[in-house]
């Protein structure tokens, strides 16, 4: 097996790998609740934010979830809120 086919098979294996229970819950909550912040997800799931962020990172890498800043007109200072939503917004 040459190196290109090995890389190709590794990538396809990663895409078809099963989703963890936390990732399933994240997808379900985002599907039902729309775009949410990490803090909102922590409140809904009652698990540590680092655990949620690890799950979100994996979903982002698999192109299932997107992360984007939410700029608010009334807030002129500080960091924007970071929102997470399904990449495909068709409900």
Query: Which residues constitute the domain of residue 61?
Result: 19-71+79-91
In tens, the pLDDT along 56-67 reads: 999 999 999 999
Question: Does 86 map to a domain?
Answer: yes
User: CA 76 to CA 72: how far, in whole Å?
Assistant: 8
Cβ atoms of residues 29 and 41 within 8 Å: yes
Query: pTM of this prediction?
Result: 0.70
Task: Specify the number of domains making up the chain.
Answer: 1
- Domain containing 85 — which CATH number? 1.10.10.10
Question: Does 13 map to a domain?
Answer: no
In tens, the pLDDT along 5-48 reads: 444 444 444 445 678 999 999 999 999 988 999 999 999 999 99
Contacts of 76 (CB under 8 A, 6+ apart): none
Question: Does 36 map to a domain?
Answer: yes
Question: Does 4 map to a domain?
Answer: no
User: CA 9 to CA 3: how far, in whole Å?
Assistant: 10
User: CA 37 to CA 6: how far, in whole Å?
Assistant: 37
């Amino acid at each position: 097996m040459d190196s290109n086919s090995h890389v190709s098979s590794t990538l396809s294996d990663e895409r078809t790998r099963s989703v963890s229970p936390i990732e399933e819950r994240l997808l379900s909550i985002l599907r039902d609740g729309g775009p949410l912040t990490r803090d909102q997800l922590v409140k809904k799931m009652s698990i540590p934010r680092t655990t949620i962020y690890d799950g979100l990172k994996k979903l982002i890498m698999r192109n299932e979830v997107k992360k984007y800043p939410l700029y608010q007109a009334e807030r002129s200072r500080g960091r924007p809120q970071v929102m997470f939503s399904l990449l495909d917004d068709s409900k």
